Structure 1
Amino acid sequence: MNTNWRRIILWALNAVGAFVGAWALAAPRSFYDAFPAPGLFGAWVGVDGPYNEHLVRDVGSLYLALFAAGVVAALMRRADASVAVGVAWLVFSVPHLIYHLGHLHEFEPIDAVAQSISLAAPIVLAIPLCLPPRRRTVIGGRTVTGGRTVTGGRTVTGGRTVTGERTVTGGGEAR
């Protein structure tokens, strides 16, 4: 996957992290009573036990930490940074989804479906971030991708051998 797609995915995840994190941290009681959207869905947090300000603020801080790491990765434009953020989202989101799938009986059908989709979305977005970057080769100042065989320090392109190349991985440094 190229750097532009990685950045698009990072900014989508960043939007989730900023929205959830800022609301839970700044207004924990409102988050507990009304998340995800007052009047549009039922309260998803409030049905899962008594209000606990400490827990809600901690969840807000966790989402803001994911947001901050995602912003750094998006601005760095390096594949390795986006891989780390993707792994962090998966480590959080997979158990989060599993827990909530086991507690859907507490919700109206529309809320159960919407919650499942909204909790699966970060997983679907994070998986491609964990894929290795596409390898690129720089030949004489030109970047070419895919379909090349590198042997003994030489790149074979369409039956012709080119020397003096550098292999670049996903926006990182030349190797």
Structure 2
Amino acid sequence: MNSESLRRWLRGGLYTLAALQTFVSLWQYFLPRSFYDNFPTVQLDPPYNEHLVTDVGGLGLALAATLWIAAWLIDTKVALAALTGYLIYAATHFAYHVTNFDNFSLGEALGVGTGLGIEVVLALLLLYTARLLYRAERVTV
């Protein structure tokens, strides 16, 4: 795969992560009760706390903004920074949920674990792609 193909793949992946993060974060921030009541499996967690949900939504929006900027600029250093931050968030979120399935049915546990696992894998693949591009740019300079 050449550098231009990698760059297109990276940009598409960054836009995908940014869109998903934006959707969930806007919902969390502006409609926290709706998010708590309607997002699958959230109601299985400890009691509702509006402050916590809106804070998480605000942080998610900040993370989404870095992903949007990385996709728009397609600068490998910015992409590496945005994806590193996203991977830390996604991996810790995944780790929490896969160790806290006490009230979940098997289907709910599989759904949450799979969905969050896909985010981690996609972030790792994009981070790898950004690293390949970064190395290629350094060689051609």
Q: TM-score, normalised by structure 1?
A: 0.71
Letter in 1 for 2:30: A
Please state if 1:31 is matched with 2:30.
no
Q: Distance in 2 between matches of 1:85 and 1:117?
A: 23
Letter in 1 for 2:126: L
Give the superposition deviation at 1:128.
Answer: 2.3
Q: Distance in 2 between matches of 1:115 and 1:7?
A: 26
Out of 22, 43, 64, the residue aligned to residue 46 of structure 1 is 43
Partner of 2:21: 17
Give the number of aligned pairs. 134
Please state if 1:5 is matched with 2:5.
no
Structure 2 runs not aligned, ≥5 long: none
Greater helix proportion: 2
Greater strand proportion: 1
Distance change in 2, residues 1:169/1:128 (3 Å):
farther
Letter in 2 for 1:63: G
Please state if 1:92 is matched with 2:89.
yes
Q: Considering only aligned residues, what root-mean-square deviation do their CA atoms show, in Å? A: 1.8
Q: Distance in 1 between matches of 2:46 and 2:71?
A: 36
Q: Distance in 1 between matches of 2:97 and 2:22?
A: 21
Deviations 1:83-117 (A, max 9, x none): 11110111111111111111113112221111111
Partner of 1:153: none
More divergent stretch after superposition (58-67 vs 69-78): 58-67
Q: Distance in 2 between matches of 1:121 and 1:95?
A: 13
Partner of 1:67: 64
Q: Which has the larger radius of gyration?
A: 1
Runs of 4+ in structure 1 off by over 2 angstroms are: 128-131, 133-136
Letter in 2 for 1:19: F
Q: Distance in 1 between matches of 2:125 and 2:76?
A: 11
Out of 83, 87, 90, the residue aligned to residue 80 of structure 2 is 83
Give the superposition deviation at 1:21.
Answer: 0.3
Distance change in 2, residues 1:80/1:129 (3 Å):
farther
Out of 113, 116, 127, the residue aligned to residue 116 of structure 1 is 113
Structure 1 runs not aligned, ≥5 long: 36-42, 137-167
Give the superposition deviation at 1:133.
Answer: 2.5
Partner of 1:103: 100
More divergent stretch after superposition (100-109 vs 48-57): 100-109
* 2:132 partner SS: coil
Q: TM-score, normalised by structure 2?
A: 0.86
